[in-house]
Structure 1
Amino acid sequence: MSTRDRILSLYAFAPLNKLETFKSSHPGGKPIYFDLSGLAENEPLSADAFEIVSTEATTEQHDIGVLTVKLHHRLLPLEVILKYKAWGDTGVFTRDMTFVNRGQKPLSLASTPSLSLTLPGGEYTLRYLYGGWGEERQLAERKVEAGSFTIHSVKGRSTNGFAPWLSLRNEDTQTEYLAELAWSGNWDMSVSREPNSWPGALRERGVDVMMAVHFDFGGAYQISSGTEFVVPRIAFTVSSGDMDDAANEMHRYQRQFVFPHTQVNHPLLVQFNSWYPYQGKITIEDTKRLADQAAALGAEVFVQDAGWYNQVDWSEELGDYQADPKAFPHGLEELANYVRNNGMKFGLWVEIENAGIQSRLFHEHSGWCLSYNGKPLIFSDRCQLDFSNAEVRAWATATVDRLVQQYGLSWIKIDYNIDIGDRFDPHGDEGLGGVLYQHIIHYYRWLDEIRVKHPDLTIENCASGGLRFDTGILAHVHTNWLSDNVDPIASLALGYGCSLQFSPEVCNHWMVGDTDQGAVDVSKPEGWWSFLFRVPMNGQFGFSSRVFQWSPALQEDAHSNIALYKNVREIIAGADVYHLTPQPKLIRPTGWMALQYVNDDGKMSVVAAYRLQDDLGEQVFRLRGLDAKRSYEVTRDGHSVGYVTGADLMKIGLTIRLDEPWRASIVELRGQ
C-alpha cells in the first residue's frame, strides 16, 4: 500500500461536510478517536463545532504521508489547519495545528490541546517520567482508575518535575501507546476515565488523554486579528509490542526526522569539560595542565565551562563574555590555540538567555528581561532575556558570532539556570497569555539561525542538567547534558530514563569520579575505576575530573576505557535500545542493570551490564532484535570470547559474570 493510500485509510471523515472524528486502526483491532477539543471565546472547539473547508493527502520525501485538513468554526471567525504526518516506516504520527483569526477583533483561546484522544476500553497501565534537579526521568507507573490523573510543568522549564511524555498500555489487548509533546516551556497533561453508571463496567469506558501548552497565568492566549497561533507538535505511536518497542519507534522518528545532524559530532566526540575539577575558579596554567592530560587520554574536544569570563562571580556576571584578564592574561585565544595544538577541538560555555544582576548587560539593558508588575523578573542572581525582542536576538547572535570567530569554537555549551514560572507582564495588548510561548518560539528560530551561520559548530543544550530536555529544543541542537548529578551510582538510573525517552546519541553524560570535585579514589580497585567510566557510556561520553592527580594505573585504565567507548559509540549512536532490567533506584540500587543497543539491521549490538549492590555475581540476559540465523563474535571488555548464534542469544541468553558489586561489563556482538 502506498503512503498516500495508507494515510487515507487511517482517517475517515463523516459526510455532509461535518467533521466528527479521525479514526485510526491499531494492532488491538479497535479504533482510536482523535478529537478536536478546547475552548475559544467560551465556545467549544469540539469536532462538531467545525465544518470542513478542504482536505488534501500528499506524500513528501522519505515516504512521509501528509494529510492536511482546513476547518472553519461554525460560530467564530476562526480557521483551524490540521496537518497529520505519517513518518515513513517509523510507525510515528504527528499532529500540527494552527489557529488563524479571520475576524476583526482579537480572539481568546482558553485551551488548545496538541493531543486529545480517546483510547478504547480495557485495563490500562500508565507510565510517566518524573524528577527535578539531579533525579531526572525516573519511571513511575500506576493503574488507570476512575477519575483524572493530572501532571504539569509551570516552572518555565519543560522537564523540571515531569517530562511531557507518557506511555499507556492496554493490558487486555497488549497494545502500547506512547506520546510526547515537543515543547520546552510550560504544559499540562491529563489521563482520565469517567466512571460508568453500572457496577463493574469501568474497563469498558474509554481512556481520555490530553497534552497541551500551558499559557501564562494558567489562563488564555489572545490572537489578534489576522494573526495565527501554532500549537506545539505532538508525536504519537502505537505498538503491539512492549514499551521498548514503542519507544524505539519514537527514537527512529527522532533520529531520522527531528534531531539535526552534523558531521562535526560524528562519531560522537569524547569531551573533556573543565567544570568539575575547578568549578568556575580557573587559570590558564590550570587549563593547560588539564588539556595535556585530556588529550593524552583520548579526549577529542576540550570545553571550557563557566567562569572563564568572570572577575568576581561567574553567575552574577552572566552576559559579559570577555575573558577574565587575571585568569587569562593573554586572552582566551592562548587556551584555544593550546587545545588545538594538542589535537582537540575547542569549546566554550555560555548562558545566552540570561543576564547576571552584576553584569554590564543587565545594567545597560534591564528592559530586555522578562518582567512582572513592571520590574525585571530576577531569580537568585539573574534574569531571563526575552528572545521575542529583536534587539536581544541581535545581541545574542553578535555575541556567538564573535566567540566562534575569535576563539575558533567547534563546540558551544548553552546552559539555562532559571525557573522563570508562568507570570509575566504582557507585551501590550498583542499575544496576551503567550509571553513565554513567544520567547521559546523565537529562541528555537535563533538556534536554527546559529546552526545555519556556523554549520561546523556542535551545540550542546543544558538546563541545570536535564531540566529543559525535550524534543522541542532537540530539534534545534545536537546533544543534551543529561543531569548535573554525576554520582556514578545515581547516574545508572539517569541514563536508563534518558535512553527510554530519547535516542541515546543525545544523552550526554560524563565520568567525574568519587566526588563532585572530580576526585577519584586511587586506592580503590581497578574494577571500580572501570565502573566509573562505563556508567556514562550509554550515549555521548565525556569526562571532567582531576586528571592531573591520577596515578599511572588509573591513567592506563582511563585510556583503555575511552578506547573501548570509541569502539562501540557508532553502534550506540544509531541503535534501538532494549532495557533488559527494570530501572534501578536512584539511591542504594540493588540487583543488576543492563541495556542493549541494536543497530537497525540487527548485525551489531552492544550490551552494557552493571552489577549493583547485594546480588548474585552472574546473570543471564535474553537479548532482543538480533538476526536468529547469524553468528556473532562476542567481545567482552575488548577481548574476544567466542561465537554465538543470534538464536541462542535470544532464546538461551547471554551470561555475564561480575565477581564484585559495582562492576560493569561492555559486551560487543558483531555479526559474521
Structure 2
Amino acid sequence: MKYIKINENGIHIVFGITDKNQIKLLHFSKAEFDENDICKFGKECKAEDLVRKEQFIDEAFQLVQVNLAGYNRPYEKHGNKHICTAPGYLLTYAGMEDSWNEIGRKITIYQEDKEETHVRVETRMQFYKGTSIVRMVNKVINEGDSTQCLEYLSSFCYTGIEKEGKSNSDAKMRVRIPYNGWQKEMSIKEYKFGDVGLAQTQPGVYQRTSQVLEVSNTGNWSTKKYLPLGYVENTEAHTSLFWQIEHNGSWHYEISDQNTHFYVCVSGPTEVQSHWFKNLAPGESFESVPVAVGVADDSFEKAMGELTKYRRMIRRPNKDDENLPVIFNDYMNCLFGDPTTEKELPLIDAAAECGCEYYVIDAGWYAPGEWWDSVGEWQESRERFPNGIKEVTDYIRQKGMIPGVWLELEVMGINCEKAKNAPDDWFFIRHGKRVYDRSRYQLDFRNPEVIEHVNEVIDRVVKDYGVGYIKMDYNIEPGIGTELGAESVGQGLLEHEKAYLNWLDDVFARYPDLVIENCSSGGLRIDYALLSRYSIQSTSDQEDYRNYATIAANAVAGVTPEQAAVWSYPMRQGDKEEVIYNMINAMLLRIHQSGHLAQLPPERLALVKEGIACYKTIRQDIKYAIPYWPIDIADNEDMWVCGGLQLENKAYLAVWKRQMEGKNNDRYMKAGINCTDDSLSIPLDSIPFIRDDMQVSCIYPKKEPVDFEFKGNVLTVHFKKPVMARLFELRKGIV
C-alpha cells in the first residue's frame, strides 16, 4: 500500500492507494497516524495478518459513498447504512491536484468507474488558514452514454473514528447530539456510544450491526429537530472530530460500525431519509452540499472555537457584523404582532432614549385584525397606520435609529387574494395539489414570477418605506418537497433551496448595507448556507427570560456570537433582578431589545440603559472572541448557567441562577463542581491567561453589588436571591 500523508493546520490526513488502485481515507485526526490502528481488535484482525488487513481495507475506508440505482452492493452493510455503496466500492484512483489559493491549501481527488457505471467523482478539500477545518464537497459526473439514477452522495465519509487508543469504544467514545426545537433551541446532550445503541457486543470478533445513530432533517426548516452539527470525541486519545453541514434543507449524518471500526457518513438529502433522488443524463453532474470537518482536542469548547473562526471566514463581509448595532423589536413580550402608530410612538421614544440603533416594526403592519392566513401582498394597513407606515419609519429616523419591518416572503396565506389568483406553479405541489401548512402555501423560488413578486416587495419596503432592516421570518414546514419539474420531491425541494440562496445573493448585491435577520419561528433555520449570507440570526421565540439563559449560553455552538440575536424583554411587573437577568441574556451576543420600555419605572429603565451602554463598550471584542463554557454547556434543568467569550488578554463571563421548579444542581455536583443554592465555584483553567493575579470585576450592573471572590483559579459567586445574573470581565494580570 502506498500512503499519501497530509498535515495541514494540525489536521493529519492519510490516504492509502491499494494494489487495486483504489484510494482509501485511512486517517483524519488531530493525532498522528499509526497503521497498526487500522486492524488490531479481535482474533480475526491482527495487524500482521496482511491478507485480512487488505480485505478490511478493500471493503471499507471509502473516501466517497455514492450509490446509483440498479447495481449490486456485495459487502456487509446491514440495514439502511450508507456504506458499501455502488459504485462507491468500484471507484479507482485517477489522480490528485494539490494547490494553494488565498484561503489556504486546496486538494482535489479524482476517482472513476470505467467498467460498470462510467461515472467520475471529484472530491474537493479546501483548507482554511488559521483553523483546523477543511471544507468538503463531492461531485459526480455521468461520463457514460445512459442515464444513471443517483440515490445517495456523501459529503464526508470516514471510517475509524474510534481507532486511536487501546481501549474499546464503550470506554472511550462520546458523542454530543445538538437537539434544537421551537423554544428549546441549543439543547446539546452528551452520550456514550452504548447509550445510543452502539455498544460493543462482539468485541472479540468481526464487529458489525444494523444499529445506526441517525441525526437527520427532512424539509425546509433545516434545524427544527437538530442543529446540522456533529461532534465525537475519544477520551483516551484526547481527540475530537466535528462537522457542520452547510445546507438550508434536508440533511443527514449517521454513525455506525463496519469491519470492527466505527464510521461517520455526512450528506445532504437522501432517498431513504428525504425522498430524494436525481437522474443524471449523460454529461450531467451533481454536487453534494458542503460540509466543514475539523479536528481538535477532546474538548467541545475547543471544537466550537475552531468552528467560530471558520464561520467568520466563510461569511459575507458586512457592516452589521462589524458594528453590532443594538436592535429594538416591538414583538416579544410587547406588542406581539399588533402594532399601530399610537402604540409605536412611545416605544420609539423609549428605545431611542435607551440607546437602540435599529427599530423594527414586527408582524401585523400589513393587515388589520387577524392576519395569519391572509399574508402575501405586504401592503401597509391604513387601519393600523392612518397616515401610512412611512410616518412611523420617518419618526424612527428622526430619533436617530434605522427603521425595519417584518416579512415572511416565502409564504402566502390561503386567504391572500394574490395567492387565489396565482397559478399553481407558484407553489409547492404534491399529488397534484398545493401543499398546505398552518393555513399557508409555500412559494417555489425556482419560478421567475415568484422572484419578481418578492423583489417587488423588497424594493418597495426599502425605497418607499425607508427600511434598512428586514426581519425575514418563516413559520411553516412544507415537508419533503415539491413534485413540479423534478424527478423526486426531494430534488424539487433542493432546487428551490438553491434558488432561494441565489435570490438572497442578488438582494445583497443590490442592497449591500441592508440588514436581513434570519428568523424561522426563532431558531429553526440555524445553518451556514443561510448564515454565510445573513448577518444576524434569531436564536429563539422563548418567552420565559429565565429559560432563555440556556439558549443564550449555548448559542455560540450554532452561530458566531456577533450573529446570535437574543431577546431582552423586561417585564412590566418585574423587579430589578429580572431586568438585569434579561439584559445579561443578550449582552455577550446581539441585543434584541423588546418589552414595554415606555411603561417601566425609572429605576428599572435605568438598568436597561446601563446594559446597552455597557454592551457598546464591549461589542468590539465580541466579534473577535471565541466561546468557552467553564462548567460545560448549559442544560435546561440546570439551576446555575454559565457561559462566556474569551480573547487573548481578556474574557467575559455571564453567570445566571434560576431557583425555580425543575432546576437543580445535580449535574454539576456529580462533576465535582462546588455549588449550593446560593453559591457557585467556577473553575477558570481553560482561559489561556489564567493567573492568580487575574483581575476580575463585575461590569454589569455596577450599582447592584454581588459578593464574589477569585482564588486558586476559581471564581466563586454568591447569589442570594432566587433569580439573579451578573456579567464579569476577566483581565490578564500585570506581569
- Aligned residues of 1:130 and 1:161 also touching (Cα < 8 A): yes
Aligned length: 641
User: 1:77 — aligned with what?
Assistant: 118
Shift of 1:211: 2.0
Shift of 1:537: 2.2
Q: Which moved more, 1:72-81 or 1:167-176?
A: 72-81
Please give the secondary structure, in 2, of the residue aligned with 1:553.
helix
User: Does the C-alpha gap of structure 1 residues 14 and 590 become closer, same or farther in structure 2, counting only changes over 3 Å?
Assistant: closer
User: 1:569 — aligned with what?
Assistant: 619
| Pairwise CA RMSD | 2.6
User: 1:200 — aligned with what?
Assistant: none
Structure 1 stretches of 5 or more lacking a match? 197-204, 514-518, 642-647
Instruction: Say if 2:430 is the partner of 1:372.
Output: yes
Selected match of 1:137 from 165, 186, 189: 186
State the distance in 2 between where 1:72 and 1:651 align: 60
User: 1:536 — aligned with what?
Assistant: 586
Structure 2 letter corresponding to 1:110:
E
Q: Which moved more, 1:471-480 or 1:560-569?
A: 560-569
Shift of 1:403: 1.5
Shift of 1:232: 0.7
Structure 1 letter corresponding to 2:558:
Q
Instruction: Say if 2:360 is the partner of 1:319.
Output: no
> Over residues 132-182 of structure 1, what are the superposed CA-to-partner deviations in whole Å (9 max), with x where a residue is unaligned?
211112112222124322232224311111222111111221211111211
Selected match of 1:232 from 267, 273, 289: 289
Structure 1 letter corresponding to 2:235:
E
Instruction: Say if 2:63 is the partner of 1:21.
Output: no
User: Does the C-alpha gap of structure 1 residues 220 and 227 become closer, same or farther in structure 2, counting only changes over 3 Å?
Assistant: same
- Aligned residues of 2:62 and 2:89 also touching (Cα < 8 A): no
- Aligned residues of 1:594 and 1:607 also touching (Cα < 8 A): yes
Q: Where do 1:442-521 residues align within 5 Å?
A: 442-513=499-570, 519-521=571-573
Instruction: Say if 2:640 is the partner of 1:612.
Output: no
Q: Where do 1:222-371 residues align within 5 Å?
A: 222-255=279-312, 257-276=313-332, 277-367=334-424, 368-371=426-429
State the distance in 2 between where 1:341 and 1:71 align: 62
Please give the secondary structure, in 2, of the residue aligned with 1:10.
strand
User: 2:175 — aligned with what?
Assistant: 126
Please give the secondary structure, in 2, of the residue aligned with 1:114.
strand
User: Does the C-alpha gap of structure 1 residues 187 and 15 become closer, same or farther in structure 2, counting only changes over 3 Å?
Assistant: closer
Structure 1 letter corresponding to 2:106:
V
Instruction: Say if 2:628 is the partner of 1:578.
Output: yes
User: Does the C-alpha gap of structure 1 residues 141 and 15 become closer, same or farther in structure 2, counting only changes over 3 Å?
Assistant: closer
Structure 2 letter corresponding to 1:592:
W
Structure 2 letter corresponding to 1:456:
D
Shift of 1:45: 4.2
User: Does the C-alpha gap of structure 1 residues 71 and 426 become closer, same or farther in structure 2, counting only changes over 3 Å?
Assistant: farther
- Aligned residues of 2:253 and 2:267 also touching (Cα < 8 A): yes
Structure 2 letter corresponding to 1:595:
G
Q: Where do 1:179-194 residues align within 5 Å?
A: 179-193=243-257
User: Does the C-alpha gap of structure 1 residues 266 and 631 become closer, same or farther in structure 2, counting only changes over 3 Å?
Assistant: farther
Instruction: Say if 2:220 is the partner of 1:161.
Output: no
Please give the secondary structure, in 1, of the residue aligned with 2:247.
coil
Please give the secondary structure, in 1, of the residue aligned with 2:464.
helix
> Over residues 246-293 of structure 1, what are the superposed CA-to-partner deviations in whole Å (9 max), with x where a residue is unaligned?
1111111011x2222311443211111011322222211211111111
> Over residues 317-374 of structure 1, what are the superposed CA-to-partner deviations in whole Å (9 max), with x where a residue is unaligned?
2221111011112222111110010011111111111111121331222420111111
Shift of 1:301: 0.3
> Over residues 432-474 of structure 1, what are the superposed CA-to-partner deviations in whole Å (9 max), with x where a residue is unaligned?
6401100111111111111111011111101111111112211
State the distance in 2 between where 1:651 and 1:534 align: 26
- Aligned residues of 2:98 and 2:108 also touching (Cα < 8 A): yes
Please give the secondary structure, in 2, of the residue aligned with 1:61.
coil
User: Does the C-alpha gap of structure 1 residues 171 and 533 become closer, same or farther in structure 2, counting only changes over 3 Å?
Assistant: same
Shift of 1:632: 5.0
Aligned-residue sequence identity (percent) comes to 23
Structure 1 letter corresponding to 2:238:
Q
> Over residues 574-596 of structure 1, what are the superposed CA-to-partner deviations in whole Å (9 max), with x where a residue is unaligned?
2111112244443xx44421112
Shift of 1:567: 2.0
Shift of 1:97: 1.2
User: 2:265 — aligned with what?
Assistant: 210
User: Does the C-alpha gap of structure 1 residues 585 and 365 become closer, same or farther in structure 2, counting only changes over 3 Å?
Assistant: same
Selected match of 1:65 from 73, 92, 105: 105
Please give the secondary structure, in 2, of the residue aligned with 1:361.
helix
State the distance in 1 between where 2:718 and 2:617 align: 22
State the distance in 2 between where 1:550 and 1:294 align: 12
Selected match of 1:637 from 681, 684, 699: 699
> Over residues 363-393 of structure 1, what are the superposed CA-to-partner deviations in whole Å (9 max), with x where a residue is unaligned?
2224201111111111121111111222212
Instruction: Say if 2:306 is the partner of 1:221.
Output: no
Q: Which moved more, 1:220-229 or 1:15-24?
A: 15-24
Please give the secondary structure, in 2, of the residue aligned with 1:163.
coil
> Over residues 85-138 of structure 1, what are the superposed CA-to-partner deviations in whole Å (9 max), with x where a residue is unaligned?
111121011111122233444321111122221113343111111132111121
Shift of 1:611: 2.2
State the distance in 2 between where 1:465 and 1:453 align: 26
Please give the secondary structure, in 1, of the residue aligned with 2:226.
strand
Structure 1 letter corresponding to 2:17:
A
State the distance in 1 between where 2:423 and 2:385 align: 29
TM-score (norm 2): 0.82
User: 2:604 — aligned with what?
Assistant: 554
Selected match of 1:151 from 204, 209, 215: 215
